[in-house]
Amino acid sequence: MKAVYFDSAATTKMRDEVIDVMTNVMRNEYGNASSTHSFGRSSKVLIEQARKTIAKKLHVSAGEIVFTSGGTEADNLVLQCAIRDLGVKHIITSKIEHHAVLHTVQQLERTCDITVSYVKLDAHGQVDYENLETLLQSHGKTLVSLMHVNNEIGNILDVKRVGNLCQAHNALFHSDAVQSVGHYELNLQDVHIDFLAVSAHKFHGPKGVGFAYIRKNSGLRSLIFGGEQERGIRAGTEAVHNIVGLEKAFTMAYANLNEDREYVLDLKRHFISELRQAFPKVTFNGLSGDLEKSTYTLINVCLPIPPEKALILLFQMDLKGIACSKGSACQSGSNKGSHVLNEVLCEDDLKKPSLRFSFSIFNTKAEIDYVISVLKDFITA
């Protein structure tokens, strides 16, 4: 049986070079970075070098990068502490955000004296920027939380436009950039974003590490209490090997960005073409079928399959060695279906099976052709 991995939006395969540097650190750089002896100082140097590497690429200062356990912690750090520390009384978000944002915002609405507004979306899941501007005109101190690239349908937010709107209305702007950093250039001197959440395992780095970008002098304080690590903003002994792995994956992602993007975009173009040829009635959810308006890393496909077959489609794909996703990986155990697709699809299309295929440099056109053949055999059987 073949083994075909098309679920890189859930997590990516680690690069060999990343594994190598992490292994070296685990073997040789085992000092606690808070210790003052030479072992500790050596670990501290590695952490600070990683911080500088990331900061330079994003055009920010090193002190604005805070290492976390991943995107979920970074989102929670910003959202919870913005209310506690910055006097935020109003959060504007959308109903198709990642649950790391949505569930946090819902919990804050239940437990804190805040107002939550959901910006309108068009039929493809794109933010209504005029409605966003209207929402920004009321409710006092406001934080806007909108993701850069949607993890299910691939829509790309115009972060510069949103940043300008927030700046004009004296609002704070937080963006979950888990699906974009490592895949798109982001100059935070050019784009006004106050807070960013990033996770290493989305760009061929290790799981369990990421970072938050927190604009200097924001006033944000620690969510986790304990030691004074990460300049007092994130307590806990640093996982040096993970941070170095993040740095290596980050560096390699941007060193090869143009070449890798063209390769993966060509895979997406081929996949779309083959799907349309094999299944003329296929549709693409959100803007994922648009090569210009969606990320090059994924497609979300609504397949013309009878309801009785739809129930076992994902199981059948797994039997054939194909890894893909019904919505996001975080929802794979849920019976509620994708909250994103529930917002953007009509009732008839919601009855049809939708699959997300997400790609990386480790995929090939031959693997795409295999997926198409499996789908053909299943649907026509």
| Three-state SS at 171 | coil
Radius of gyration of the chain (CA): 21
String of DSSP letters for 199-259: EGGGTT--TT-EEEEE-TT-----SS-SS-TGGGTS-S---HHHHHHHHHHHHHHHHTHHH
| Three-state SS at 11 | coil
Cα-based distances in Å from 318 to 9, 274, 282, 321, 364: 17, 20, 21, 5, 18
Measured CA to CA, the distance from residue 74 to residue 54 in angstroms comes to: 16
Measured CA to CA, the distance from residue 242 to residue 324 in angstroms comes to: 26
HSE-CB of 44 using CA atoms within 13 angstroms:
13
Sign of CA dihedral 300, 200, 104, 120: negative
> How many contiguous H segments (helices) and E segments (strands) does the chain have?
13, 12
Longest alpha-carbon distance in the chain: 68
324 given a catalytic annotation:
no
Residue with tokens 């397949």: 303
Measured CA to CA, the distance from residue 319 to residue 218 in angstroms comes to: 50
Closest listed residue to residue 338, CA positions, set 356, 322, 323: 356
The active-site residue out of 81, 112, 302, 330 is 330
Measured CA to CA, the distance from residue 1 to residue 322 in angstroms comes to: 10
Closest listed residue to residue 363, CA positions, set 246, 249, 269: 269
Residue pair 93/119 in contact by the 8 Å Cβ criterion: yes
Residues marked active site are found at 330
